[in-house]
């Protein structure tokens, strides 16, 4: 079930609206090296409920990281990970971007910077804030790209005989 929201991100300079899925949650187990490779999608009602030996669909919330899920116009779902990718037209971060980073050092950490590309993470560790920060950077400094890292999940295609 989708709930109405004004979440969005920018792609090629255009605002792309996201529809949060109120009944779904994505998660990865705490301690897994790469959440993108280990994301699981479950109904929200199953998330955070104690696991029983007979029901493996119920997940222990205390041992998992939660990520927001959005519906995707092209089909499937998009999971917002706590990461922002910024691509500038120059090989080095611009003065405007450096200034933005300095002013927001309590909100974001720099994970990597090289050849005009920056990878940031929100201090909060949430996908929702990654979307907000990516949009804020895009509107403030107009880089070539500023987007949260999304993982797209699509249904498995059925095999035809």
pLDDT in tens, 46-63: 766 544 444 444 444 546
pTM over 0.85? The answer is no
Three-point CA angle 45, 50, 52, nearest 5°: 110
**pLDDT for residue 62:** 47
**pLDDT for residue 32:** 57
Q: Which domains are assigned to the chain? A: 8-79 (no CATH), 80-149 (3.30.70)
* Contact criterion met (CB below 8 Å) for 40 and 57: no
* Contact criterion met (CB below 8 Å) for 83 and 28: no
**pLDDT for residue 41:** 80
Residues of the chain with pLDDT under 50: 1-2, 50-60, 62, 160-161
**pLDDT for residue 48:** 63
């Amino acid at each position: 079930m989708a709930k109405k929201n004004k979440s969005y991100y920018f792609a090629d300079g255009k605002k792309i609206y996201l529809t949060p899925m109120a009944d779904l949650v994505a998660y990865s187990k705490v301690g897994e090296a790469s959440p993108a490779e280990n994301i699981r999608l479950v109904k929200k009602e199953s998330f955070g409920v104690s696991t029983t030996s007979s029901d493996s669909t119920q997940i222990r919330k205390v041992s998992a990281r939660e990520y927001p899920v959005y519906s995707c116009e092209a089909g499937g779902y998009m999971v917002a990970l706590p990461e922002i990718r910024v691509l500038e037209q120059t090989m080095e971060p611009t003065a405007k971007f450096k200034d933005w980073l300095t002013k927001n050092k309590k909100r974001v950490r720099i994970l990597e910077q090289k050849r005009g590309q920056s990878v940031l993470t929100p201090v909060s560790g949430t996908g929702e804030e990654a979307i907000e920060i990516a949009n804020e950077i895009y509107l403030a400094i107009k880089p070539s790209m500023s987007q949260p890292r999304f993982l797209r999940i699509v249904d498995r295609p059925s095999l035809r005989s």
